[in-house]
Amino acid sequence: LDDRSNRIVYPVYDMDGNFINVKGRTRFSGYKKMGICKYINYYPVGTVDYFQGINITEQYIHKTKELKIFESLKSTMKLFGHGIKDSASAEKHDLTPEQIAWIIRSDIKSVVLCYDSDITYKEKTVQKNINMLKRFVNLYIIQDKDNLLGGKEAKNSPIDKGFDIWSTLYSQRKKVT
C-alpha cells in the first residue's frame, strides 16, 4: 500500500517470471475528476510484452488450453479466488503485437476476451486484435446484453458483480467467426 498516493501496489512480472516493475492502482473513486491516473507504473516500462499474472496462471492456461483475458489483474485475482485459474490481465483492452504473438506461439486453443462493460468490441484497436486472433484460435467475447454489470457507466468487469453473474456471462460467451 502506498499511503502517500493512496494506491494499492503490486509487483509486475514478465513472461519468464522475472520481477520487472511495481504498479499502483488508485483507491480514489473520483480519480478522473481529480485528474489522476487509475494505474501507474512506478518505473518506466517499454512495450507491454507480457500478461500480468501469467507467471502464476500459465500452468493452468496450458492445462485447459484456454486463456481468459481481462483488462486488470484485479479481475484475474477474483476469478482465481473462485478456482478458475486460466486467466491473465492484458493491462488494457487492446493487445500488443507481443501479446498476440505469445498467444499464437503457445498451445492455447481458445481465447475469451473478458473486457469491462464500458468497452465495445467494435472499437478499432479491439477489432484489429479480434481479426488477427480469430485466424489462430477459437475466439470468444463476453458481452453483457442483459445489463448484469450495470451498463457502460459502471465499467465493471465480468467478475466484478460476483461469481454467479460471471458464470452466466461466461456461459453466454459468443464465438467470433
Per-residue pLDDT reduced to its tens digit, 22-65: 888 888 888 878 878 787 777 766 666 779 899 899 999 999 99
Model pTM greater than 0.85? no
- Rounded-to-integer distance, Cα 177 and Cα 174, Å: 9
Q: Which helix (H) or strand (E) holds 12?
A: strand 7-13
Please indicate whether residue 161 or residue 13 has the higher confidence score (pLDDT): 161
Q: What is the mean predicted confidence (pLDDT) over 96-105?
A: 92
Torsion, Cα of 35, 36, 37, 42 (10° steps):
150
Band (pLDDT 50/70/90 cuts) for residue 70 is very high
Beta 138-141 vs 66-70: how paired, if at all? Answer: unpaired
Q: Name residues whose C-beta falls within 8 Å of residue 155's C-beta, 6 or more positions apart in sequence.
A: 116, 117, 118
